[in-house]
């Protein structure tokens, strides 16, 4: 009776499980060994100090191997083939945690050579085929835009031409009337409009040339220097410093001011188309020599008689006055030869204040202006 009770009690008691060792390979390549526990474990790798997941002890009984069925007698000499050995299924001890392997920690400066690291190729995007730049739609759009631009430019140019034609006549009449009345500012403005119009029309006829000459003369008359040339030079030399070598700053003088010269010119030996005004000025113990370099004036000088200093009437702007140098002291007043022009109208020249001494003097002045008018 006691034996039966002890056997029955033993059925309800759980036997102690047999210790089951494990050996799990870490991501760094090292082996982590130990004994499985009833619950899962996360032992730390001794090499990289990373936790490793280990399954708990298998509580289920191992399956018994299936019974081998009796095979029919073999026909090859009565020998039976041996069946493959059956055994328990291996248990996977590594679990996919769902994240990429963690690289091993190695000592600073010493690469970990325990396990080669496989470099996975980076995913590449599929390159889409390039669309051609020239397409029928783009060609049609470009053609339409080109035709529209050419048409607009043609219409604008045509409108500009028509406007310029109307401006030439109207501005010339207003400017000429203002010149006769002595309103040089208005004359310069209106004749300037007419000059721009004939330039736009690219006219080179006699009327267009007359408009250009009248515009230049009206501009010079509207911007004449407020003081006489000698007064300007005297005021400037009075402010000159002893030993100064830089050009003098013209006192009380706008750089765009004009001066009209009626004088003889002497060809200079320093260069072609360079001339000296045959009227030196002596102020404050300084001799001032006026010079100009102009191809326009050079054409008139070549028409003069040999050995004579021809008389020339022209308008010019100031360019530079050098500081007095040497002993006796000398200074040079250089005129702007680029903007200088020959006077070509006797009537407008009279508005400046010219009065002939006699009939012969008036005849000579008219002849000089007419000769300058023809020398274009």
The C-alpha atoms of residue 153 and residue 160 are separated, in whole angstroms, by 10
Kindly state whether residues 213 and 318 are assigned to the same domain: no
> Given a cut of 50, is residue 147 above it in pLDDT?
yes
In a domain, 143, yes or no: no
Residue 20 near residue 57, CB atoms below 8 Å = yes
- Reported as a single tens digit per residue, the pLDDT across 183-205 is 999 999 999 999 999 999 999 99
Residue where a domain terminates, one of 200, 222, 244: 222
Kindly state whether residues 184 and 320 are assigned to the same domain: no
The C-alpha atoms of residue 72 and residue 106 are separated, in whole angstroms, by 62
148: tokens are 């529209």
In a domain, 47, yes or no: yes
DSSP 8-class letter at 224: B
CB neighbour list of residue 345: distance below 8 Å, 6 or more residues apart = 213, 214, 217, 369, 373
**Domain hosting residue 307, numbered range:** 229-374
CB neighbour list of residue 297: distance below 8 Å, 6 or more residues apart = 265, 273, 275, 312, 314, 337, 340, 342
In a domain, 279, yes or no: yes
Percent of the chain with pLDDT strictly greater than 70: 74
Kindly state whether residues 248 and 367 are assigned to the same domain: yes
Split into its structural domains, the chain has a count of: 3
In a domain, 81, yes or no: no
The C-alpha atoms of residue 348 and residue 314 are separated, in whole angstroms, by 13
In a domain, 133, yes or no: no
> Given a cut of 80, is residue 175 above it in pLDDT?
yes
In a domain, 370, yes or no: yes
Phi and psi angles of residue 41, each rounded to the nearest 5 degrees, phi first: -125, 160
> Given a cut of 50, is residue 78 above it in pLDDT?
no
DSSP characters over 82-111: PPPP--PPPPP-----SSPPPPPP--TT--
Task: Please give the pLDDT value at position 84.
Answer: 47
In a domain, 326, yes or no: yes
Kindly state whether residues 207 and 263 are assigned to the same domain: no
CB neighbour list of residue 192: distance below 8 Å, 6 or more residues apart = 215, 218, 219
Residue where a domain terminates, one of 178, 200, 222: 222
The C-alpha atoms of residue 298 and residue 323 are separated, in whole angstroms, by 27
- Reported as a single tens digit per residue, the pLDDT across 44-77 is 898 888 888 888 887 776 677 665 555 555 454 4
Rounded alpha-carbon distances, angstroms, from residue 45 to 21, 103, 243: 16, 13, 95
Kindly state whether residues 321 and 234 are assigned to the same domain: yes
- For the chain, first and last CA: distance in Å? 155
Kindly state whether residues 363 and 258 are assigned to the same domain: yes
Q: Of the ranges 31-45, 54-68, 109-123, which is most confident?
A: 31-45
Q: Is the peptide bond before 301 cis (omega within 30 degrees of 0)?
A: no
- Reported as a single tens digit per residue, the pLDDT across 220-257 is 999 998 888 888 888 888 888 888 888 888 755 566 78
Kindly state whether residues 173 and 291 are assigned to the same domain: no
Kindly state whether residues 288 and 190 are assigned to the same domain: no
In a domain, 276, yes or no: yes
The C-alpha atoms of residue 260 and residue 33 are separated, in whole angstroms, by 115
358: tokens are 């006699």
- pTM score, whole prediction: 0.57
Bridge partner residues of 332 (DSSP): 289
Phi and psi angles of residue 228, each rounded to the nearest 5 degrees, phi first: -75, 165
Q: What is the CATH number of the domain that holds 208?
A: 1.20.58
């Amino acid at each position: 009776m006691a034996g039966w009770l002890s056997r029955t009690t033993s059925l309800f008691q759980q036997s102690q499980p047999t210790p089951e060792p494990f050996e799990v390979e870490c991501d760094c390549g090292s082996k982590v060994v130990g004994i499985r526990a009833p619950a899962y474990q996360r032992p730390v790798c001794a090499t990289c100090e990373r936790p490793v997941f280990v399954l708990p002890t298998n509580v289920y009984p191992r399956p018994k191997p299936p019974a081998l069925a009796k095979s029919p007698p073999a026909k090859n000499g009565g020998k039976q083939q041996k069946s493959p050995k059956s055994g328990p299924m291996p248990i996977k001890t590594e679990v996919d945690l769902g994240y990429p392997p963690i690289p091993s920690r190695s000592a600073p400066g010493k690469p970990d050579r325990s396990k080669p690291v496989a470099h996975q190729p980076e995913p590449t995007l599929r390159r889409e085929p390039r669309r051609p730049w020239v397409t029928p739609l783009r060609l049609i759009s470009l053609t339409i835009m080109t035709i529209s631009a050419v048409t607009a430019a043609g219409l604008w140019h045509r409108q500009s031409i028509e406007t310029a034609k109307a401006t030439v006549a109207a501005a010339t009449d207003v400017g000429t009337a203002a010149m006769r009345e002595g309103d040089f500012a208005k004359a310069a403005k209106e004749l300037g409009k007419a000059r721009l119009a004939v330039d736009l029309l690219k006219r080179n006829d006699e009327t267009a040339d007359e408009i250009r000459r009248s515009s230049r003369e009206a501009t010079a008359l509207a911007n004449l220097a407020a003081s006489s040339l000698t007064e300007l030079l005297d005021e400037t030399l009075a402010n000159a410093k002893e030993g100064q070598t830089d050009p003098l700053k013209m006192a009380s003088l706008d750089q765009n001011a004009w001066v009209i010269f009626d004088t003889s010119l002497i060809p200079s030996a320093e260069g072609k188309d360079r001339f000296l005004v045959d009227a030196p000025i002596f102020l404050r113990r300084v001799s001032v020599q006026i010079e100009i370099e102009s191809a326009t004036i050079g054409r008139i000088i070549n028409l003069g008689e040999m050995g004579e200093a021809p008389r020339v009437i022209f308008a010019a702007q100031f360019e530079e006055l050098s500081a007095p140098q040497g002993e006796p002291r000398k200074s040079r007043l250089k005129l702007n030869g680029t903007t200088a022009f020959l006077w070509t109208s006797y009537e407008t020249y009279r508005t400046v204040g010219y009065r002939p001494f006699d009939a012969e003097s008036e005849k000579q002045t008219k002849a000089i202006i007419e000769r300058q008018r023809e020398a274009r």
